[in-house]
Amino acid sequence: MNKETQATQKIYTTRSLNMRKIKAIGYDMDHTLAVYHKNAFEDLAFRKTIEKFVAAGYPKEFMDFAFDPNFAQRGLLVDKVHGNILKVDAHKYVKAAFHGHKKLSKEERRQKYNNISYKAQDFVSVDTFFALSEVQIFVEIVDFMSKNPGRIDKSFAEIYDELRLFIDTAHRDGSIKDVVLSNIEKYIYKDPHLSETLVRQLDAGKKIFLLTNSGFEYTNQVMNYLLAGADDFYENWQDYFEIVIVSSRKPLFFSGKQPFFRIHTENKGLLSPLKDGFQKGHVYCGGNAASLQDFTGLRGDEILYVGDHIYGDIMTSKDLFNWRTCLIVDELEEEMTRVAAQDHLKAKIKMAISEKEDLEDAMQTKKSELARHRRAIAKAKKKQDLASLEKLKASVETIEQEHMAVEQRLRRLGKDIKSLVSQREMAIHPSWGELMRAGLERSRFADQVRDYACIYMTRASNFRHYSQNKLFMTASDTLPHEK
């Protein structure tokens, strides 16, 4: 890696990964090789889904809802029963919650969630293809229901289930994909370094395969847009890939046993079962990870899979087949820039926390001093030592005043820290703060990344900055008691 490589272009390691041992690198397509212009794309998904709600008889006012790119965030949970959106930390503590656009107070959060033990799986994890628009549509409808009681005679859970259905339909019936393909530059960013990155991996002797849930037509057009003509030798996009698998139905690809079919793309897309192994230049659909390994002779830990979906791409492939994993977190690019811009606040927070610790020590000293004096007073009273008693009482008064002063400073400092933390969070993300943090703790999403993604980065093309045989090591794998 070049020393000049910017932080947003680096690869981050959570578990050591020796690329020398990796024989095949698999890529997801959507949001991995194909980087979407998030706002335009989510706005489109938002509008197409709202249209389905209105067509199904929901109020026409829904058409006035507008997508807000700054509202939702990846890794949030939906409480379908109460109609709330939650951000929880790694210890399942709800750190922020919204009902519609109304933020729940600390007391409301405590009553509803934090004084009972709940399991995160009681809630729906928002990690679909259109996570941001999905969360925001739900928020808008809950808001509408609060402002227009009686207009929609359905439970939050029913609404949410319909939302999932409409999003899936808009995705499958072409409502969204047709628009994307008709104006592809508007919706998909053409990464100028993608071809160079893949060629580097091929040069290092890695086999590359594509494993996407998108259908062939869409995949073909998107990959063509991304790679056709980008390299003199690899003229067609399929030239880069040893195996191409479309309509893979991940996570079922990892958990199920569906067979592979070859798609005869030259013959109206007719299907035939795969019998003798993959052939370069052919296109396959369906399939499962066990058969993929059998046909190729690859072991799970010889495959590195690169995807953006924490569950469908990363958790299932690692859990069930021990594939090595790389998560694409493209929103980190913007967030890291915002975080860096708030460095001064972080320094202030650190200083304030250290001052608070000193004051807490000072307070403890004053408390002990007071207790010691009070014991001496009791003793003097017993002995009727009036001279000492007077002196002790005067000292107690002074110590009490000092104690009070420290207490006041501590209280002020506590408020200052809170306000600095929230000021920093607001600057980074107005509703939810940092993606991988919940307050000062790690977020649940950060924990999933740490547990399942061996490495993570903002873009697939960040690979180009590294040797393809590099040993990625974790910066630190120490427990709190270890030095």
> For binding to Mg ion (CB under 5 A), which residues are involved?
28, 30-31, 308
Omega before 251 cis (within 30°)? yes
Report which of 133, 132, 131, 143 is spatially closest to residue 61, judged by C-alpha positions: 143
Q: How far is the CB of 225 from Mg ion (least distance, A)?
A: 16
Q: How far is the CB of 150 from Mg ion (least distance, A)?
A: 40
Beta carbons within 8 Å of 321's beta carbon, 6+ residues apart = 254, 289, 290, 293, 300, 303
Place of tokens 């990344």: 449
- DSSP states along 281-344: T-EEEE--HHHHHHHHT--GGGEEEEES-IIIIIIHHHHHH--EEEEE-THHHHHHHHHHHTHH
Q: How far is the CB of 76 from Mg ion (least distance, A)?
A: 18
Q: How far is the CB of 32 from Mg ion (least distance, A)?
A: 5
Q: How far is the CB of 299 from Mg ion (least distance, A)?
A: 24
Q: In this complex, which beta carbon is closest to Mg ion, that of residue 30 or of residue 79?
A: 30
Which residues does residue 162 pair with via DSSP β-bridges, in sequence order? Answer: none
Q: In this complex, which beta carbon is closest to Mg ion, that of residue 13 or of residue 219?
A: 219
Q: In this complex, which beta carbon is closest to Mg ion, that of residue 49 or of residue 212?
A: 212
Q: How far apart are CA 188 and CA 168, in angstroms?
A: 20
Q: In this complex, which beta carbon is closest to Mg ion, that of residue 127 or of residue 434?
A: 127
Phi, psi of 410 (to 5 degrees): -65, -45
Assign 3-class secondary structure to 67-91.
Answer: CCCCCCCCCCEEECCCCEEEEEECC
- Give the 3-state secondary structure of residue 143: helix
Q: How far is the CB of 362 from Mg ion (least distance, A)?
A: 54
Q: In this complex, which beta carbon is closest to Mg ion, that of residue 292 or of residue 438?
A: 292
Q: How far is the CB of 172 from Mg ion (least distance, A)?
A: 15
Long-range contacts from 271-276, C-beta under 8 angstroms, 24+ separation: none
Q: In this complex, which beta carbon is closest to Mg ion, that of residue 428 or of residue 453?
A: 453
Q: How far apart are CA 16 and CA 336, in angstroms?
A: 23
Q: In this complex, which beta carbon is closest to Mg ion, that of residue 30 or of residue 335?
A: 30
Q: How far is the CB of 366 from Mg ion (least distance, A)?
A: 58
Which residues does residue 79 pair with via DSSP β-bridges, in sequence order? Answer: 84
Q: How far apart are CA 321 and CA 289, in angstroms?
A: 8
Report which of 248, 223, 225, 251 is spatially closest to residue 238, judged by C-alpha positions: 223
User: Which 8-state DSSP code applies to residue 127?
Assistant: -
Q: In this complex, which beta carbon is closest to Mg ion, that of residue 28 or of residue 42?
A: 28
